[in-house]
A and B are shown apart, each in its own frame.
Chain A
């Protein structure tokens, strides 16, 4: 999987790159408009992360350029600008997702994965991890071909954990992922514990291995030993 990060803040680009690398996502970076245009005209990417405010241009210009060149890359806008207008304009110009800074790298990673899954969708949209199969469209999870009685939120949590395989996830990051728009108002992340506990129970009951590890003081990790 190869993505392009268009971001003038090199530290952020670097953090994303380093975070994604162990999870099989190759990142190239472009620090400005010109560089980004050069790269998208030379290479094909699975996904482009696009900052809207660039020193020599506007992220929207890159979206127009992509459209003009009939490029089919998925685009996720990552911006500090958070107004309905920029959101709508971004989507109208062909962006697939919009993530406001600051964000958790884990959140960005699962968004990229979800976007690529949607792009490569060929009749079925499912994720397989060893004995676990998640059918994203049908919203079902089966372990060793046995369907689990599982809630939407637990599927969401499962996807988030698997997507961030081998990453330590803080309760906060998980809570924000699960609560979506409400995240900005939540200051208590205790409910994450209950969800993790339930998911663990359901998976182990169906005969799955225990992949969810608790990391002392930090949070949780999905790990296949």
Chain B
């Protein structure tokens, strides 16, 4: 699945932050714990030194009992046989707190009146645990706030930073070369985006120009052909009237006449196609498809007679569309004539209107048509057919222009073209 650029950067940032936190939490705990223990040991040493400084030589054996009686943390006990200061940690049940607590204890050898004794002092480490926890919570809170803040800030600033980019993206997505709407990019002072916009602008401009020339060329060529074609037609019409035409000449002349009218049709359809491509806005009027088809059924039935086709009309709804009258009619006529043209002898045509769509189904070639190319200009499934290969291209253009969906299916040996309005 594709993710958004912004989400991706914040996601990476978040993952790294959490990873660092997870790694750093025990390290932090260890360091602060060690620091506290060192601190405690120093305190113990300091107390001992203080004791030695204040009481050395003045302290008598008789004082020991009194000292031990009134002093809770520092005791003087008979020698434990140690020769130098020893600090160790242990866990003891504390009756004041009534739970097991960690203690740090210093044993130090001292001499009172020439006799060896051991100085014992212990410090509760429970304060340290509390402190480590509160520091950890403070630390976590700060980090979390910082993280949220950074993510939020980066999101906002990224949004502002990337705005021209997303705007450009949207505009390119909506851009269609055959619509006369040049994209207008937001001005930006970010060099990369500016370059991007300029490059796209240039690309679009160039392609539009090429497309325009191409379109104009087709239109102009078709227009320019009208006059020589008119001449051609007029000359052939004149030749038809010549006396004493031999049978052989008649056949050639007749087929020449067919060729020129085929050329005419091709040219007119090309003109129609370029005309449709040039339409920006058109006059929309209501058209009831049922009525139109009923009205022209006679004409098409007449065309279908040569192949003895049967035409079935099934209207399950009255379908009224808003469209340019002329173009909508061209679309229907083309679909209808296609169904006749590509039909077999004694075949059938079924015209249905339902679900806001119009379908033409016809018998014909036993194989489905190739979908990809069928709407291209001059793509013909049967190269020898008399059609000019523009019919479906025109149908598609008109459908696109009006935002209608055109689809093709081949089912039960019926070719079916459906226009969804």
- Residues of A at the B interface (CB closer than 8 Å) are 9, 11-12, 15-16, 18-19, 22, 80-84, 100-106, 167-170, 172-173, 176, 179, 182, 184-188, 190-191, 194, 215-219
The answer to whether B387 touches A187, judged by C-beta atoms less than 8 angstroms apart, is: yes
Cβ of B240 within 8 Å of any chain A Cβ, yes or no, is yes
B180 → chain A closest CB, angstroms: 17
B8 → chain A closest CB, angstroms: 53
Total count of chain B residues near the partner, CB < 8 A: 48
B281 → chain A closest CB, angstroms: 13
The answer to whether A80 touches B230, judged by C-beta atoms less than 8 angstroms apart, is: yes
| 14 contacts across the A-B interface (CB closer than 8 A) | A16-B234, A81-B223, A84-B326, A102-B233, A104-B237, A105-B238, A176-B261, A182-B299, A184-B268, A184-B269, A186-B265, A188-B386, A217-B250, A219-B254
Cβ of B257 within 8 Å of any chain A Cβ, yes or no, is yes
Q: Which residues of B contact A179 (CB under 8 A)?
A: 299
Cβ of B247 within 8 Å of any chain A Cβ, yes or no, is yes
Cβ of B195 within 8 Å of any chain A Cβ, yes or no, is no
The answer to whether B237 touches A190, judged by C-beta atoms less than 8 angstroms apart, is: no
* Closest chain A residue, CB of each to CB of B258: A172
Task: Name which of B13-21, B95-103, B127-135, B300-308 contacts chain A.
Answer: B300-308
**A186→B391 CA distance, assembly (Å):** 11
Q: Which residues of A contact B237 (CB under 8 A)?
A: 15, 19, 104-106, 173
* Closest chain B residue, CB of each to CB of A169: B240
Q: Which residues of A contact B340 (CB under 8 A)?
A: 188
- B231, B261, B275, B391: most-surrounded residue (chain A CB, <10 A): B261
**A82→B262 CA distance, assembly (Å):** 18
Q: Which residues of B contact A184 (CB under 8 A)?
A: 264-265, 268-269, 272
B395 → chain A closest CB, angstroms: 11
- A187, A190, A219: most-surrounded residue (chain B CB, <10 A): A187
B256 → chain A closest CB, angstroms: 10
Q: Which residues of A contact B386 (CB under 8 A)?
A: 187-188
**A184→B237 CA distance, assembly (Å):** 18
* Closest chain A residue, CB of each to CB of B247: A216
Cβ of B341 within 8 Å of any chain A Cβ, yes or no, is yes
The answer to whether A80 touches B226, judged by C-beta atoms less than 8 angstroms apart, is: yes
The answer to whether A182 touches B333, judged by C-beta atoms less than 8 angstroms apart, is: yes
* Closest chain B residue, CB of each to CB of A184: B268
The answer to whether B391 touches A185, judged by C-beta atoms less than 8 angstroms apart, is: yes
A1 → chain B closest CB, angstroms: 19
The answer to whether A188 touches B235, judged by C-beta atoms less than 8 angstroms apart, is: no
**A80→B267 CA distance, assembly (Å):** 11
Q: Which residues of A contact B306 (CB under 8 A)?
A: 188, 190-191
The answer to whether A18 touches B238, judged by C-beta atoms less than 8 angstroms apart, is: yes
Cβ of B334 within 8 Å of any chain A Cβ, yes or no, is yes
* Closest chain B residue, CB of each to CB of A170: B257
Known pairs A12-B234, A102-B264; A219 contacts B227 (CB<8 A)? no
The answer to whether B303 touches A101, judged by C-beta atoms less than 8 angstroms apart, is: no
* Closest chain A residue, CB of each to CB of B232: A102
The answer to whether B253 touches A12, judged by C-beta atoms less than 8 angstroms apart, is: no
**A16→B231 CA distance, assembly (Å):** 10
**A72→B240 CA distance, assembly (Å):** 34
| In the complex, per-residue mask of B197-234: 1 if CB is within 8 Å of any chain A CB, else 0 | 00000000000000000000000000100110111111
Cβ of B251 within 8 Å of any chain A Cβ, yes or no, is yes
Q: Which residues of B contact A216 (CB under 8 A)?
A: 247, 250
The answer to whether B302 touches A185, judged by C-beta atoms less than 8 angstroms apart, is: no
The answer to whether B231 touches A168, judged by C-beta atoms less than 8 angstroms apart, is: no
The answer to whether B305 touches A194, judged by C-beta atoms less than 8 angstroms apart, is: yes
Q: Which residues of A contact B341 (CB under 8 A)?
A: 187-188
Known pairs A9-B227, A218-B240; A188 contacts B233 (CB<8 A)? no
Cβ of B241 within 8 Å of any chain A Cβ, yes or no, is yes
Q: Which residues of A contact B260 (CB under 8 A)?
A: 102
Contacting residue for B254 out of A9, A167, A170, A182, CB 8 A: A170
| In the complex, per-residue mask of B102-125: 1 if CB is within 8 Å of any chain A CB, else 0 | 000000000000000000000000
A-B contacts besides A169-B240, A217-B250, 13 pairs, CB < 8 Å: A15-B238, A19-B238, A22-B241, A82-B268, A101-B226, A101-B230, A167-B240, A184-B269, A187-B341, A188-B306, A215-B250, A217-B254, A218-B253
